A = this chain, B = another copy of it.
Amino acid sequence: MLKEKNLKLKEQITAPTGKLGVLIPGIGGAVSTTFIAGVELVRKGLASPIGSLTQLGTIRLGKRFERRSPRIKDFVPLASLDDLVFGGWDLYEANGYEAAMFARVLKREHIEPIKDFLRGITPMKAVFDRRFVKNLDGKYIKEENNLRAQVEALKEDIRRFKDQNGCERCIMIWCGSTEVYLQCEEIHQSVEALQKAIDANDSRIPPSMLYAVAAMESGIPFINGAPNLTVDVPAMVEMASQNNLPIAGKDFKTGQTLMKTILAPGLKSRMLGLEGWYSTNILGNRDGLVLDDKDSFKTKEESKLSVLEYILQPQLYPSLYKNYYHKVTINYYPPRGDNKEGWDCIDIFGWLGYPMQIKVDFQCRDSILAAPLVLDLVLFMDLAQRVGLSGIQEWLSFYFKSPMHKENLYPEHDLFIQSMKLKNTLRYLMGEDQITHFGLDYYMKDDENEEK
């Protein structure tokens, strides 16, 4: 029985002790600095980690009338914020304080009190190849000029970081820019082919893959916050499996796509048809600049477009979802700064085919929405590692625009199913019953209430 199995599991989970290193490629970006500064502010009691499931979320256990809803962090053994230490790479030399000021996400009153702490966050030189990110031109770059040497240099960085900070465990999370569109080829099919290609200095291997290889060869789980393939190729899944490491990705689900995976399941649940969905985004930060390049945008576009297809299941509902027109555009608009505005124009139809419209203007903040995802992913991946889960972590789909998944399964994009999957996984790990929201039993007279 599943239940017995996971009661055993619960006992096996290692307690989180010692420092947990968070290694971030792209540590000088807006998301990274907002995440790091935020954790420090929370540790000092100066702000609240809004948006973080691990910090604020609760989980209902048992029957509704039991009213058992502990905090998630009291329910599963997660690393404490106090144990996090931060390091990473960037192609700009700015320290954490300078980078946070440059990003213009946080107000001065949030940065000043932790100025010294942020100054202490200094990036290591990045592995960078401009062919993969055309609109950036940082100069703080490693001298090694072949792929294998670059991987080894990154591994050496990691060793040094762990030693210097006395880390017991580490997690690497890619917060770098979106690389140009890449298709999965022969060299990405197996660990062997990939390693050969690295040795051969193959030009189809982007920097992000080198970081992932360095992480896994150092025994460190890898999370991908951008839409690049990176670990979403068979070679990397194999490598994760060989090393008993969890991997997760890809592309943090924030802003407009988050909204899309909220609305689309709602429309589908009501069997409302879709004629068209037009989405435009305006944003003025470095991310916007990078995505102004057509090739980088293509990577992002793929990630953004597939969402509806999987949620709406046109194969099951051809009369509702077979012929909708879906268009996504992103425009660089400097006045918006790090704030991001998404405008969605949704054309639906109902009873007898009558048309209706929904317009959504989401005036959000990119890094503010992404930062708590970084935190949750780091903590949950560390849990996964300690529990002994390896390979793709589908239960973390909740956090991604393009969730990784087993080859013969479809990805799950519906935010509500993703949330349920995540919580039922936690319940499972802790030996608690799955929640089904059935509930008819409450209304049955002779009910023994064995299940819910």
Contact = CB atoms under 8 A, between A and B. Distances in A.
Interface centre among A69, A412, A439 (most CB of B within 10 A): A439
Given A280-B331, A425-B438, 4 more contacts: A50-B320, A350-B372, A352-B368, A359-B363
Interface string A289-327: 000000000000000000000000000110110001101
Contacts of A275: 335
Contacts of A58: 316-317
Given A266-B262, A278-B333, A350-B369, A56 B271 contact: yes
B329 A329 contact: yes
A351 B34 contact: yes
A58 B321 CA distance: 14
Contact of A434 (B362, B438, B450): B438
A424 interface: yes
A195 B31 CA distance: 62
A307 to B, nearest CB: 14
A74 interface: no
Contacts of A442: 394, 406, 409
30 contacts: A2-B450, A34-B351, A50-B271, A50-B272, A50-B319, A51-B271, A51-B351, A56-B320, A58-B317, A69-B316, A262-B263, A262-B266, A265-B416, A266-B415, A266-B416, A269-B398, A271-B372, A276-B333, A325-B333, A343-B343, A358-B361, A359-B360, A360-B361, A361-B361, A392-B443, A395-B440, A409-B442, A412-B437, A421-B439, A434-B438
Contacts of A434: 434, 436, 438, 451
Nearest to A436: B434
A284 B222 CA distance: 44
Q: How many copies does the complex hold?
A: 4
Interface string A385-429: 000010110110010000000101110100111011100110010
Interface string A327-348: 1010101111000010101010
Contact of A278 (B48, B331, B367, B417): B331
A64 interface: yes
B368 A356 contact: yes
Given A360-B358, A438-B428, A409 B369 contact: no
A41 interface: yes
A277 B317 CA distance: 33
Contact of A368 (B334, B341, B354, B358): B354
A270 B282 contact: no
A258 interface: yes
